[in-house]
Amino acid sequence: MRDEHQSAHLEQLTAKLRDRSAIIGIIGLGYVGLPLTLRYAAVGFKVLGIDIDSAKVDKLNAGASYINHISAADIARARANGFEATTDFSRAGEPDALIICVPTPLNPYREPDLSFVLDTTDALLPYMRPGQVVSLESTTYPGTTEEELRPRLESRGFEVGREVFLVFSPEREDPGNPNFETRTIPKVCGGSTAACLEAGLALYGPAIDRVVPVSSTRAAELTKLLENIHRAVNIGLVNEMKIIADKMQIDIHEVIRAAATKPFGFTPYYPGPGLGGHCIPIDPFYLTWKARQYGLHTRFIELAGEINSDMPHWVVGKVSDALNQRGRSVMGSRVLVLGIAYKKDVEDMRESPSVELMELLRDKGAHVDYADPHVPVFPRMREHRFDLSSVALTPQSIASYDVVLLATAHSGFDYELIRKYANLIVDTRGVYLERQPNVVKA
């Protein structure tokens, strides 16, 4: 028989989530938190967004967006439905649910950096109250929710599963992908206790078409890592195949297109100049770090990481070879990098391999510029600095460069114009299907 106090807190919480009178608190209003905010607002919940960036908060409260694929009209609709953004963590007692969507990067030693998650949790704790559900969505190693968050909640005197409820439900956002939206992407959820899982399912059920329960927070944490390691390993495989194909003078993109016609047993993955984004370059290291605590060496995962990490150096080697064949060196050459976001048709610069390409070329003495319709001015970044603005692509500007390095294949580029006027193109994305005298595949 369920404890009376547990029953009262859980039943009151789930009832408020069912009738949508609950207030949803979302901490971290970036590429994960903001779409989730809009979804909850769209289905009738009042949403309180909390972020440490006052500029973001001011924009949102003014009805403006800072993410390209989210329009000001989307923000305005959420505001009309009661959405409010704040930097004030003392308001954390107002929501019935606290969904944490903050970064989980790596430290300089390629180890997990949980400072954003732990600092956020510590900032919320003094203002929490019984009857709240806390959900962590940030990608992390198995055990984080139980080993780090649960003790913090219990240090405040809360009994997890009776007074407050704790779940892990990994984000699955794919910025700029028009085929999916927050509502249609199934949501995995694991609870710290059975009652916690019940609260988590009640939290996500009204907003997401399909919620997938798993047996524990650790299973949910590992699910997210498996998803992204699956991609990282397969991209590592196809990047290695690219190098082999290049030595054999075979176009790997032609081979992938042909293999993809097989209707079973093959999923196409595509090579590139390296891995980018907030997940795939980082998440494997969260598992390899945790696995070492169990005396395990994740050889397969780490090998893929080595191959993917070497890709920018391999691409710069191809640029150097292509210039040498035309009687030029990298030093003193003018290089235009096409696309500096980590993937096509977004402005997201996190872990973009394009930036590493720019730095490697600059270090070799090249004069480097970039063109990216989604990044008009090179942003402030923690580890990278360029005082540059995007170059307008005209016949004259394209022809003024010794080499155009196609790094991110945005749909907005006029590839025929670029092919016609570029002296040399190094194509890392397989955009140019036919052999061209001024195109080198990399």
The answer to whether residue 279 is catalytic is: yes
DSSP letter (8 states) at residue 414: -
* Contact indicator for 109, 38 with CB cutoff of 8 Å: no
**Looking at 101, 189, 196, 279, which residue is catalytic?**
279
Parallel/antiparallel/unpaired status of strands 403-406 and 425-427 = parallel
Q: What are phi and psi of 389, to 5 degrees?
A: -125, 160
Q: Which two tokens stand for residue 349?
A: 């610069």
Q: Which two tokens stand for residue 205?
A: 């059920």
Residues 245, 249: Cα–Cα separation, whole Å: 6
Residues 318, 234: Cα–Cα separation, whole Å: 22
Strand ranges across the sheet with 84-86: 84-86, 46-50, 23-27, 97-100, 133-136, 165-168, 187-191, 211-214
* Contact indicator for 305, 236 with CB cutoff of 8 Å: yes
Place of tokens 């949501």: 187
Place of tokens 């003790």: 151
Collapsing DSSP states into helix, strand and coil, what is residue 292? helix
User: 282: number of CA atoms within 13 Å, CB side?
Assistant: 22
Q: Which two tokens stand for residue 305?
A: 């990481």
Tally of residues, the chain: 442
* Contact indicator for 370, 378 with CB cutoff of 8 Å: yes
Catalytic site residues?
A: 279
